[in-house]
Amino acid sequence: MPTILALETSTELASVALYVNERLLGREAAPVQTHSQTLLPLVQSLLSEAGITLADCDAIAFGAGPGSFTGVRTACGAVQGLAFGAGLPVVPVVTLEAMAQACHERTGATDVLCVLDARMAEVYWAQYRHGADGWHTVAAPALAKPAEVTPQGTVLACGNGLSAYAEAFAAANFIARAEPGIMPHAAQVATLAARRFLRGETMDAASAQPLYLRNKVALTTAERMAGKAA
């Protein structure tokens, strides 16, 4: 199996993971406003624990988004720099699929709805179905109002969007079980990336890009006041 270094900073939690010798090692930082100062020290600590250097890795993976605008840019930029310097390929992984993988590992669920708080009264969501050959996308990642989330069939739902908009999802008849505490993490990014590496699904550092689903990243003052009035 390949040796994969993974970075994930799409939410307030920064995490790194190393898939090496068919086992996972990980590090994470407490929720912070910026990940740029914590990410590389986490990487250095993890490589030191494993007794390897960056050049010993086969590829570097990252949570490509959707998620925090600044967060996904931070991970992508860090991975591009590391991969370019070490001459390694890159494997982007959709953060919502990493959440589905975490749900599967924790519960065994094979039909998963992932809902991530996008702020501004919206969520990022996607639906995935697990089969013998891995994950299949049932509903592609999208940005929507909570009431507009429409998965196919009954699902296990995960992600902080469920708690951020609890009232909207409380009446949803498509949720068989909710796991709001499951969030994107580098451990699942590394696991998924290792399989993709074996299938040859890599790219060069210059081609790596974040996955953005929204151009507008903040409400105007008027919009915030209107929201409070409502």
Q: How many domains does the chain have?
A: 2
H-helix or E-strand spanning residue 177: strand 175-179
Contact 15, 46 (CB under 8 A): no
Which range marks the domain in which residue 47 is found? 4-95+184-207
Per-residue pLDDT of the chain (230 residues; tens, 9 = 90+): 899 999 999 998 899 999 999 899 999 987 665 656 789 999 999 999 999 999 999 999 999 999 999 999 999 999 999 999 999 999 999 999 999 999 999 999 999 999 999 999 999 999 999 999 999 999 999 999 999 999 999 999 999 999 999 999 998 999 999 999 999 999 999 999 999 999 999 999 999 999 999 865 444 444 344 555 54
**In sequence order, what DSSP letters do the residues of 22-38 get, joined into one string?**
TEEEEEEE---S--TTT
51 occurs within a structural domain = yes
Residue 189 belongs to domain with CATH number: 3.30.420.40
Q: How many angstroms separate the CA atoms of 230 and 209, rounded?
A: 37
Q: Does the pTM of the predicted model rise above 0.85? A: yes
The answer as to whether 226 is a domain residue is: no
Note whether 79 and 40 are within 8 A (CB).
no
**What is the pLDDT, as a whole number, of residue 74?**
92
Same domain, 20 and 48: yes
34 plus 102 within the same structural domain: no
Q: Based on the domain organization, do 90 and 102 belong to the same domain?
A: no
| Residue 131: DSSP 8-state | E
CA-only gyration radius of the chain, Å: 18
Nearest C-alpha neighbor of 59 from the set 39, 41, 82? 82
Q: What is the pLDDT of residues 140-163, one digit of tens each?
A: 999 999 999 999 999 999 999 999
